[in-house]
Structure 1
């Protein structure tokens, strides 16, 4: 199976295992930003775990791979955290989960820990 076929196969039978809705505060009101994480699926010799972020400008879709489902899931969650903390909405201070400045509840890789704020600093 070709690598692209493996990636496509990993995205066809997944179901959502976790979902979180964040908000972007705009002058016209709040906009929902839903994050969905899908069940890890075999993808040839690896395992893929897809996630989606519904940004106002479009849905970001990515599949992260690992040796097994646990590693793929951890990579996906860390990548979600990285995407959130590096977004223009975070930089503008308009992206919130529970309360402004309290973090988003997603882990990040060690190289991104300096970006964490609020509860994420203490608990992730």
Structure 2
């Protein structure tokens, strides 16, 4: 197989794998935080290998210090520098992350039970 086709195929596989790990880590954060943290670390390592970065909406889902997924039921809105922001506190290391709400950065909605069932039925590739 030519090298160009192989790299395209690898990039598609890596994107699918990262998407799968993002879904699993956000679902596992509520029940098994350590497993969610391992998925977050796997995502970080895979992104470093491919020299890519997460989008801001996905980046705020993880703690910047320990890469444990945030549980979005534990959030509060405050004003900082006269701008509304959301304080996300990590349940693992108690690190506080302030997210200023803009048009480009929006907080994800909490996962529902139907989303949990569809994600748990999918198998990794």
Higher helix share: 2
Q: TM-score, normalised by structure 1?
A: 0.28
Greater length-normalized contact order (CA 8 Å, ≥ 6 residues apart): 2
Higher strand share: 1
Greater gyration radius: 2
